[in-house]
Amino acid sequence: MARDLFRHNNFIDNVAADGIVEQTRMGVFGDITFDYGQFVFLNFSGRNDWTSTVEEENRRIFYPSASISFIPTTAFSALQNDVLTF
């Protein structure tokens, strides 16, 4: 690919400008899962990001998550058959 081929100043109708922006981003992720009898699962996770692209009081962003799942074929042996083999 040709160097500088897709730079804004190569376009006929130039309304944007090229520039270099320095950004700092950092993040951590955590995940934990609990189970009861291998048929009910509870999962919690969270991600925390720090970025330098927004104002200082909003640089820390937290994304929480939680989920629960149930596997009926493990909980009730009467449901186990050749069709439901999970």
What's the pLDDT band for 4 if we cut at 50, 70, 90? Answer: low
Residues 6+ apart with CB under 8 A from 34: 41, 42, 43
Q: What is the pLDDT of residue 18?
A: 67
Residue 16 confidence (pLDDT) above 80: no
Angle at 19 between CA 15 and CA 22, to 5 degrees: 140
- What digits encode the pLDDT tens for the residues 20-75? 878 888 999 999 999 999 999 999 999 999 988 888 888 899 999 999 999 988 88
Nearest to 74 by CA among 44, 41, 43, 33: 41
Q: What is the pLDDT of residue 77?
A: 86
Contact 43, 33 (CB under 8 A): yes
